[in-house]
Structures are given as structure tokens and as C-alpha cells.
């Protein structure tokens, strides 16, 4: 087993070597082998979005985790995939056939699955991950986020969902979720289902 701590610079300290990677987190050790990342096929206007995607990709590779994502080569999708690959990591892409031209499928991935439709894509990504990370994105990113969140609420799975709130991108969403909670439409507190983080390092420091 490999025990890691993560510094703000994204470096790792290895305490013990064995076969399976684990992450040392506050309160204990969590075994984790893969993360799914939902993010935009565009990069957005704020340079911090791309910076955080690249930093997250490097961390995923440094921690010897497998990235599972939507299979595109453009926007934040391409940035995080390239960051993982450029740092010696493994990337599994899952993309529906209808989007192969629109999202420009990445040809340099460790694995690429071209599936029949969006539903198959999302289910495969959910099934292949141990935790989910949501970066800035558009309708597709929000669709993936809320579907996984709903499945979590319905006890279909219990995988943690982390939202990277780069530059306050999700502040408005956070406020709306608080309205849902205040008005009595949620079954649990927001904090029980979603973990909001401001930096990539914070995500892995809070995984558990």
C-alpha cells in the first residue's frame, strides 16, 4: 500500500510501498483507485479554470490514480486528460458515438470506450469510479453532476462527490442549493452529499 500526503505544491510523500495506492486523509486511510471528473468541453473565460484542471490532472497522476472522464480532447476535458498523461498517469475516456466529432475524441488515451448513448456513458463512468470530482462546465457537466447526486440520494451508490469551486464558479449554485434545503425539498443536508473545495489540493486533503 502507498501512503501519501499532499502539499500545497502538489508533491507527495511516500511512507510505504506495496501494490495498491491509498490516500492518507484526515481521520484515516481511504483506498481509492480511480476518480471520475465531470467538466466542460470548453475552457471558459477565467484562466483559473484551466489552471485548476491541469493541477488536478497532475495530482491524479502523481497519486497513481486512474482518471475516468468523457473522452474529449478540447476544453477542460482535454486539459485534464493531457495533464494526467503528461505526468505518466492513466486515463479512461468514455464518449458516445454521436459526440465523437462534436467533442473531438482524444486519441492518446490509455483506454477509450465509444458507447451507444449518453445514458450508457454516464452509467459506465459512475460504475468505474471510486469518487467523483466536478469542475466548471455547462449543461452536460451539470447533468452528470445532478444525475450522480440523485443516484447517491437514492442509495444506488455511496460514492463521494467533490465540487471544485474554481474562482467561485459555483457560488450561485451553492446559494440555490441552500434555497432547496431551506424550503424543505432536500432529504439531507447539502454537506452530507456534496463537498465543495476551492483548490485541487483541498479535494484530496478532504477525501475520506
Residue 9: band (very low, low, confident or very high) from pLDDT cuts 50, 70, 90? very low
pLDDT of residue 155: 86
How many Å apart are CA 106 and CA 86, to the nearest integer? 14
Q: How confident is the model at residue 19 (pLDDT cuts 50, 70, 90)?
A: very low
How does DSSP assign 2-39, residue by residue?
Answer: B-EEE-TT--EEE----SSBEEEETTEEEE--EEEEE-
Of 30-44, 100-114, 131-145, where does the model show the most confidence? Answer: 131-145
pLDDT tens digits, 163-173: 999 999 999 99
The pLDDT tens digits for 27-53 are 455 578 999 999 999 999 999 999 999
Which pLDDT band, with edges at 50, 70 and 90, does 176 fall under? very high
Question: What pLDDT digit, counting tens, does each position of 61-105 carry?
Answer: 999 999 999 999 999 999 999 999 999 999 999 999 888 867 678
How far, in Å, CA of 121 to CA of 94, rounded?
6
Q: Could you give the angle at the alpha carbon of 144 between the alpha carbons of 69 and 66, nearest 5°? A: 25
Task: Give me the long-range contacts of 7-14 (CB less than 8 A, separation at least 24).
Answer: 7/201, 8/201, 10/55, 10/58, 10/59, 10/62, 10/200, 10/201, 11/62, 12/62, 12/63
Give all domains of the chain, ordered by start, each with its CATH number.
Answer: 33-206 (3.40.50.450)
pLDDT score recorded for residue 74: 93
pTM: 0.86
- What is the model's pLDDT at position 181? 95
Amino acid at each position: 500500500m502507498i501512503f501519501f500526503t499532499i502539499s500545497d505544491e502538489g508533491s507527495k510523500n511516500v511512507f510505504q510501498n506495496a501494490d495498491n495506492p491509498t490516500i492518507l486523509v484526515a481521520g484515516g486511510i481511504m483506498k481509492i483507485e480511480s476518480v471520475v471528473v465531470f467538466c466542460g468541453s470548453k475552457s471558459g473565460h477565467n484562466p483559473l479554470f484551466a489552471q485548476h484542471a491541469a493541477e488536478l490532472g497532475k495530482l491524479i497522476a502523481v497519486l497513481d490514480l486512474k482518471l475516468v472522464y468523457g473522452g474529449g480532447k478540447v476544453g477542460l476535458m482535454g486539459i485534464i486528460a493531457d495533464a494526467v498523461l503528461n505526468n505518466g498517469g492513466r486515463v479512461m475516456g468514455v464518449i458516445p458515438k454521436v459526440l465523437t466529432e462534436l467533442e473531438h475524441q482524444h486519441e492518446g488515451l490509455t483506454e477509450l470506450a465509444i458507447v451507444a448513448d449518453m445514458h450508457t456513458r454516464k452509467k459506465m463512468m459512475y460504475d468505474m469510479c471510486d469518487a467523483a470530482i466536478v469542475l466548471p462546465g455547462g449543461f452536460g457537466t451539470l447533468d452528470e453532476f445532478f444525475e450522480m447526486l440523485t443516484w447517491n440520494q437514492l442509495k444506488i451508490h455511496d460514492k463521494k462527490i467533490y465540487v471544485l469551486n474554481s474562482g467561485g464558479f459555483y457560488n450561485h449554485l451553492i446559494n440555490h442549493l441552500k434555497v432547496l434545503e431551506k424550503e424543505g425539498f432536500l432529504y439531507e443536508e447539502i454537506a452530507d452529499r456534496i463537498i465543495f473545495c476551492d483548490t485541487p489540493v483541498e479535494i484530496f486533503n478532504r477525501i475520506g
